């Protein structure tokens, strides 16, 4: 059974603009949000989503519980916002790693993206736990959030595949294929994290490349067959 999507958190109160201690209501609300995000990230990484409570988060952030609930609704709402922020960091790091060449070798392009993503996880195990370790408890969110990155990756790789395999690229549904390949990489990354990052990012990337290389070999065979 698919887990139910919780209702969105209630809208935060509209700041009145009244200043207190030299700060406007909007500034104070923004600071409370930042403290709650930082406290939530720390507790989700150390205790996990299930064991964390909004009361603990509020106490660590020095924010009243009712104010925390007004901003995020629940710990699930807070976790989603923390996960989005960390996912954006990961995405930016991977985009920054892309070679300037507009038509790079597909194997090199994909390997670069995988290595960058894995190195990002290994550099901060606490963030890695949130990104790949805890999302299994929020399958509905992980699926919806991952879809954004799937679409972005699909746009990038579809164009490369069309250039490299003009006759064969239409024979594969790139979104479906990427969903399977990224799911495999995320699962491998979770196993790697649980084993204490016992391989280098390059070693794990080479193993994650195996199904992708299979796809490219299949496309090459299709291309040759179509050209014959």
| Phi, psi (deg, nearest 5) at residue 20 | -145, 130
Q: What is residue 133's DSSP assignment?
A: I
What are the distances in angstroms from CA 55 to CA 41, 66, 79, 129, 216? 14, 10, 14, 21, 50
pLDDT for the residue 3 = 39
pLDDT for the residue 119 = 94
Q: Are the C-beta atoms of 85 and 62 separated by less than 8 Å? A: no
Using CA atoms, how far apart are residues 228 and 210, in angstroms rounded to an integer? Answer: 27
Q: Are the C-beta atoms of 121 and 141 separated by less than 8 Å? A: no
Structure tokens at 158: 């579809």
Domain ranges of the chain: 84-227
pLDDT for the residue 156 = 66
Residue 119's nearest CA partner among 214, 200, 225 is: 200
Residues β-bridged to residue 217: none
What is the number of other CB atoms lying within 10 angstroms of the CB of residue 7?
Answer: 9
Structure tokens at 17: 């603009």
Using CA atoms, how far apart are residues 178 and 44, in angstroms rounded to an integer? Answer: 28
What are the average pLDDT values for consecutive 10-residue runs of the chain, which has 228 residues?
43 52 80 96 94 96 95 92 88 83 74 90 93 70 58 69 77 71 83 93 91 83 82
């Amino acid at each position: 059974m698919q887990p139910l999507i919780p209702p969105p958190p209630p809208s935060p109160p509209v700041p009145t603009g009244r200043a207190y201690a030299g700060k406007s209501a909007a500034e104070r609300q923004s600071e409370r949000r930042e403290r709650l995000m930082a406290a939530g990230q720390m507790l989700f990484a150390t205790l996990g989503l299930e064991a964390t409570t909004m009361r603990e988060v509020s106490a660590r952030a020095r924010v009243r519980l009712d104010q925390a609930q007004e901003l995020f609704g629940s710990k699930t709402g807070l976790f989603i916002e923390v996960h989005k922020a960390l996912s954006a960091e990961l995405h930016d790091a991977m985009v920054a790693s892309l070679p300037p060449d507009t038509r790079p070798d597909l194997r090199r392009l994909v390997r670069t993206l995988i290595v960058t993503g894995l190195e990002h996880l290994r550099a901060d195990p606490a963030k890695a736990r949130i990104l790949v370790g805890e999302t299994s408890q929020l399958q509905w969110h992980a699926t919806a959030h991952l879809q954004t990155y799937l679409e972005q990756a699909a746009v990038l790789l579809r164009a490369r595949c069309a250039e490299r395999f003009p006759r064969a690229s239409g024979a594969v549904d790139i979104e479906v294929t990427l969903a399977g390949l990224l799911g495999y990489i995320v699962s491998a990354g979770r196993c790697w994290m649980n084993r204490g990052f016992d391989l280098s990012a390059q070693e794990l990337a080479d193993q994650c490349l195996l199904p992708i290389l299979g796809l490219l070999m299949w496309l090459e065979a299709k291309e040759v067959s179509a050209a014959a």
